[in-house]
Amino acid sequence: MPRRTSDRQLFFREFLRNFHTTGAVLPSGGRLAAALARYVAENGAPKRILEVGPGTGAVTRRIIAAMGPDDRADLVELNDRFVVYLRECIDNDPGFQSVAGRIRVHHCAAEELVAEEPYDLVISGLPLNNFTPPAVERILQALVGLLKPGGTLSFFQYIAIRRARALLSGRKERERLRGIGLAMDAVLRGNEIRRDWIWPNVPPAWVHHVRFQQSDRQALPVE
């Protein structure tokens, strides 16, 4: 079976099985993946990269394509079926061979990852809109905490989805969505260095890139 078909089938099955954490029907499209991987090739210096929620590897493949010879990547994934799939890719997929020995999969929640060293770049594919506001705060806080000073966090959100959902929802859900917006704003405010508008994606998405110095990281709200 062609790889793309099997990726999509596995992703869709996991969407049905774990809607809450999978968060999308299909893997990310090429433009969204490329925007999330924008800073991998920046300045050519060796980097430690963390990808959060790699799923079937749509963004991972873009990261690998942009990695320099001394870059290393860790992938952290919650879903055990995606973990098995990614480990098989690392062992057998020619697209992963250029980074053999420099890429690892960690099977745990991103917010529980204990890193040996901080990262230059954290790239998140997490479906933050599906979580509670305290969970989004906790996750973003953890991701920022995994960065080196001056490191970059890239993450996405679907444009206007929260507003559209809020229009169709009751008070409790509206409050949840508002809380997620506030948690994201707290990270974005004063730290966003670039925003990519990915209109060909379904649904269209923003990719946010935020960069922190040490003092900004300490200033983030803690639960």
Ligand X SMILES: C[S@@+](CC[C@H](N)C(=O)[O-])C[C@H]1O[C@@H](n2cnc3c(N)ncnc32)[C@H](O)[C@@H]1O
Residues that bind ligand X (CB under 6 A): 21-24, 27-28, 52-55, 58-59, 76-79, 82, 109-111, 125-127
Please say which residue, 87 or 219, places its beta carbon nearer to ligand X: 87
State which residue, 23 or 151, has the beta carbon closest to ligand X.
Answer: 23
The phi, psi pair for 187, rounded to 5°, reads -80, -35
Q: Give the residue with the Cβ less far from ligand X, 82 or 212.
A: 82
The least distance separating ligand X from the CB of residue 171, rounded to whole angstroms, comes to 26
Q: Closest approach of Cβ 52 to ligand X, in Å?
A: 6
Beta carbons of 58 and 34 less than 8 angstroms apart = no
Q: 116: helix, coil or strand?
A: coil
Q: How far is CA 133 from CA 1, 130, 180, 184, in A?
A: 40, 9, 5, 9
Residue 88 CB, nearest approach to ligand X (Å): 15
Whether the CB-CB separation of 27 and 56 falls below 8 Å is answered with yes
Q: How far is the CB of 197 from ligand X (least distance, A)?
A: 17
Q: For residues 54 and 151, which CB has a smaller minimum distance to ligand X in the complex? A: 54
**Interatomic CA distance for residues 142 and 153, integer angstroms:** 11
> Is residue 110 a contact partner of residue 135, using CB atoms and an 8 Å limit?
no
